[in-house]
């Protein structure tokens, strides 16, 4: 996520004393006037989306040096509404560039000019694509992160991109598997027919709606979609709803001046305190067939005078397609809750072991890898000891102890990655691994293991861990290979009397290729109570079992550097 830090934290001084500022950063400040607001005196989300999109586009074009178009906008959660007279501050900067696309982070805050108070409204990530030039396809230059915050965003951008590329496929799989288990639609007394909430509107794309590339402004399309979705939500609740979240916008094609944009919206389902509205945009010109431009799912609430969500009427879906949308909305709500539970919460607020199931696999894997990447991007590590070129570092954070171990091996990075990815082989070099078995191969990159470790003392029981191992290959030459580990819970493997159930919050390896035959291996662990007994003597300098383990790891890798079974 884009860091919500003050300017002093976003900027660093260089050697000459000059204040560093990201060269792609663009700032926009707008005062909210009555013409920007709804009848409740709150800034229209559609207007906010237009401002966000234009700021992000300017940032993308500053980096690319050519025209850019909006490809997608990730899920957005709006934490607050903004009143007339307040100032909206938007900061956008390119987090990472790929071949012809780039991720732009957007942070929106609200400012009260009379008190000087500022608060966060939302953050978002948008993907922009550089348009072809006369010379052909654009090859974007790399982003060079300078600050720790920029390094974190640069690293996490690759994982977010991976989620976007597989997003549609995974959502389709989750919906098909979830809806088959939802059964029949419940019948509620006094339920509102879904057909009553149907809205269809048409907009003619005029020159003021186009950007400097003569295509319909992406922010304008999002604003029109938000408008019809709001009308649809109003027809259900007979009140003014507040937009809380928008699922990912994905632009499937452009539209141009002279196009007619047909916008359609309907309430898919209503829950106790929220409703989901599905909305789509299609374009046509003359007698040509409709072209699908965009689709989105928006979640609304109705707030009372104390800003608390009110109880909403239930919906009665239409047969066939209506029932399908009704069931899919239930599945999407579960996905949103899983996503918020796993990703949005602060790490120290999330239980160590999160229940694993197919509906949250994508987000657990993302959280697992992201946590390791964030630890890898941290600085201020303290070198505790060094022995035989194996270095042990520690760092205290939020009353938790973090540690890392570094060493070099004369084994190619890819082979090292394959050897360390298979946790069943770890007991060959790590005395803390007594047994390791594969419980489930979730997909090509995610595996769930059961690991047992010996007791620390004679009076203690051994420990048992249920670990999700997520592996990632580099996105480009500057990225390391990653093997991220975290605890999960499975109903098929509850705690037993024989072992103490241990938990891993964040652990794993990064493997960086220093040359074709040398790899730098770094092992990280965010020590939890279940881990501390195994490492406390090493960190205190009373034992050298870590050095023995990693010396054994080096020998294991050297012995298997040419193995074809890795």
Which domain range does residue 235 map to? 186-344
**Residues sharing a CB contact under 8 Å with residue 13, sequence separation 6 or more, in sequence order:** 19, 20
Asked if 325 and 377 sit in the same domain, the reply is: no
Distance CA 241, CA 264 (A): 18
Q: What local confidence, expressed as pLDDT, does residue 335 receive?
A: 76
Residue 278 to residues 183, 224, 265, Cα–Cα distance (Å): 21, 13, 6
Distance CA 544, CA 385 (A): 10
- Domain contains 469: yes
Residue 498 phi/psi, 5° resolution? -70, -35
Asked if 144 and 250 sit in the same domain, the reply is: no
**Residues sharing a CB contact under 8 Å with residue 60, sequence separation 6 or more, in sequence order:** 24, 68, 94, 102, 104, 128, 130
- Domain contains 551: yes
Asked if 192 and 165 sit in the same domain, the reply is: no
Residue linked to tokens 């009372």: 304
User: Within 10 Å of residue 102's Cβ, how many Cβ atoms?
Assistant: 27
pTM of the model: 0.82
Q: What local confidence, expressed as pLDDT, does residue 2 receive?
A: 43
Asked if 196 and 146 sit in the same domain, the reply is: no
Give me the CATH number covering residue 322. 3.10.129.10
Distance CA 490, CA 448 (A): 10
- Domain contains 459: yes
Asked if 154 and 203 sit in the same domain, the reply is: no
Collapse the DSSP code of 448 into the 3-class scheme (helix H, G, I; strand E, B; otherwise coil) and give the result: strand
User: Within 10 Å of residue 65's Cβ, how many Cβ atoms?
Assistant: 12
Q: Which of 545, 558, 565 is nearest to 453 (CA)?
A: 545
Distance CA 506, CA 347 (A): 10
Pure H helices in 103-217: 148-179
The CA-based diameter of the chain, rounded to the nearest angstrom, is 83
Q: What local confidence, expressed as pLDDT, does residue 541 receive?
A: 47
Strand ranges (E), 86-198 = 87-97, 101-111, 118-130, 192-193
Distance CA 543, CA 456 (A): 13
Asked if 309 and 388 sit in the same domain, the reply is: no
Asked if 66 and 127 sit in the same domain, the reply is: yes
Q: What local confidence, expressed as pLDDT, does residue 135 receive?
A: 65
Domain boundary residue among 115, 148, 181?
181
Asked if 325 and 290 sit in the same domain, the reply is: yes
Distance CA 66, CA 49 (A): 22
Q: What local confidence, expressed as pLDDT, does residue 347 receive?
A: 46
Distance CA 144, CA 158 (A): 14
Give me the CATH number covering residue 405. 3.30.530.20
Pure H helices in 11-83: 45-64
- Domain contains 565: no
Asked if 433 and 311 sit in the same domain, the reply is: no
- Domain contains 151: yes
Distance CA 545, CA 16 (A): 45
User: Within 10 Å of residue 8's Cβ, how many Cβ atoms?
Assistant: 8
Q: Can you say whether the dihedral through the CA atoms of 90, 165, 253, 61 is positive or negative?
A: positive
- Domain contains 395: yes
Distance CA 565, CA 445 (A): 17
Asked if 222 and 336 sit in the same domain, the reply is: yes
Distance CA 543, CA 545 (A): 6
Asked if 154 and 198 sit in the same domain, the reply is: no
Asked if 335 and 448 sit in the same domain, the reply is: no
- Domain contains 564: no
Domain boundary residue among 129, 163, 181?
181
Number of domains the chain is built from = 3
- Domain contains 304: yes
Distance CA 416, CA 561 (A): 8
Domain boundary residue among 344, 371, 387?
344
Residue 562 phi/psi, 5° resolution? -110, 10
Q: Tens place of pLDDT for every residue, the chain, 566 residues?
A: 444 444 434 444 444 456 788 999 999 999 999 999 988 889 999 999 999 999 999 999 999 998 899 999 999 999 999 999 999 999 999 999 998 999 999 999 999 999 999 999 999 999 999 987 666 678 899 999 988 889 889 989 998 898 888 777 766 776 666 555 555 666 777 789 999 999 999 999 999 998 877 789 899 999 999 999 999 999 999 998 999 999 888 899 889 999 999 999 999 999 999 999 999 999 999 888 999 999 999 999 998 888 889 999 999 998 888 988 898 888 888 777 776 666 554 544 445 677 888 777 888 898 899 989 988 988 889 898 888 888 989 888 777 778 899 999 999 999 999 999 999 999 999 888 889 999 999 989 999 999 998 887 667 788 899 999 999 999 888 899 999 999 999 989 999 889 988 888 889 999 999 998 999 999 998 866 555 555 555 444 444 677 888 889 999 999 999 887 65
Q: Is there a contact between 95 and 105 (Cβ–Cβ < 8 Å)? A: yes
């Amino acid at each position: 996520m884009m860091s919500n830090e003050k300017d002093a934290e976003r900027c660093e001084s260089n050697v000459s004393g000059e204040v560093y500022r990201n060269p792609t950063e663009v700032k926009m400040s707008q005062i909210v006037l009555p013409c920007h607001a709804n009848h409740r005196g709150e800034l229209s989300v559609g207007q906010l989306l237009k401002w966000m999109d234009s700021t992000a586009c300017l940032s993308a074009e500053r980096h690319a040096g050519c025209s850019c178009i909006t490809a997608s906008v990730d899920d957005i959660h709006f934490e607050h509404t903004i009143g007339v007279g307040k100032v909206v501050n938007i900061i956008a900067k390119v987090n990472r560039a790929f071949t012809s696309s780039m991720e732009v982070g957007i942070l929106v805050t609200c400012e009260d000019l009379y008190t000087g108070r500022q608060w966060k409204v939302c953050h978002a990530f948008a993907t922009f694509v550089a348009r072809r030039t006369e010379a052909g396809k654009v090859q974007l230059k790399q982003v060079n992160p300078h600050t720790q915050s920029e390094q974190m965003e640069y690293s996490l951008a690759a994982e977010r991109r991976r989620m976007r590329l597989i997003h549609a496929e995974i959502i389709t799989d989750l919906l098909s598997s979830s809806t088959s288990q939802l059964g029949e639609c419940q019948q509620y007394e006094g339920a509102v027919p879904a057909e009553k909430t149907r809205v269809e509107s048409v907009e003619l794309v005029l020159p003021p709606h186009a950007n400097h590339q003569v295509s319909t402004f992406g922010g304008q399309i999002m604003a029109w979609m938000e408008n019809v979705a709001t009308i649809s939500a109003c027809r259900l609740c007979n009140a003014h709803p507040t937009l809380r979240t928008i699922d990912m916008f994905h632009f499937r094609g452009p539209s141009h001046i002279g196009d007619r944009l047909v916008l359609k919206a309907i309430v898919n389902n209503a829950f106790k305190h929220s409703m989901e509205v599905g909305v789509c945009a299609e374009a046509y010109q003359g007698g040509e067939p409709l072209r699908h431009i965009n689709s989105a799912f928006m979640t609304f609430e109705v707030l009372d005078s104390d800003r608390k969500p009110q109880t909403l009427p239930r919906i009665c879906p239409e047969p066939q397609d209506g029932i399908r949308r009704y069931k899919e909305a239930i599945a999407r709500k579960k996905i949103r809750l899983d996503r918020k539970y796993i990703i949005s919460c602060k790490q120290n607020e999330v239980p160590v072991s999160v229940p694993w199931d197919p509906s949250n696999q994508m987000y657990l894997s993302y959280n697992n890898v992201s946590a390791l990447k964030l630890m890898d991007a941290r600085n201020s590590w303290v070198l505790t000891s060094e022995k035989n070129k194996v270095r042990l570092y520690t760092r205290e954070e939020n009353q938790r102890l973090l540690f890392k171990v570094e060493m070099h091996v004369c084994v190619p990075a890819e082979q090292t990655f394959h050897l360390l990815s298979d946790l069943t082989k770890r007991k060959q070099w790590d005395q803390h691994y007594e047994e390791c078995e594969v419980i489930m191969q979730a997909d090509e990159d995610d595996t769930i293991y059961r690991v047992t470790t010996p007791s620390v003392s004679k009076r203690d029981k051994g420990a048992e861990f249920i670990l999700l191992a997520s592996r990632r290959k580099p996105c480009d030459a500057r990225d390391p290979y990653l093997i991220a580990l975290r605890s999960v819970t499975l109903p098929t493997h509850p705690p037993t009397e024989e072992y103490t159930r241990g938990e891993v919050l964040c652990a794993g390896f990064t493997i960086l290729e220093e040359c074709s035959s040398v790899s730098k291996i770094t092992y990280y662990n965010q020590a939890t109570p279940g881990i501390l007994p195994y490492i406390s003597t090493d960190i205190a300098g009373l034992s050298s079992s870590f050095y023995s383990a990693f010396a054994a790891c080096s020998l294991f890798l050297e012995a298997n550097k040419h193995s074809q079974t890795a």
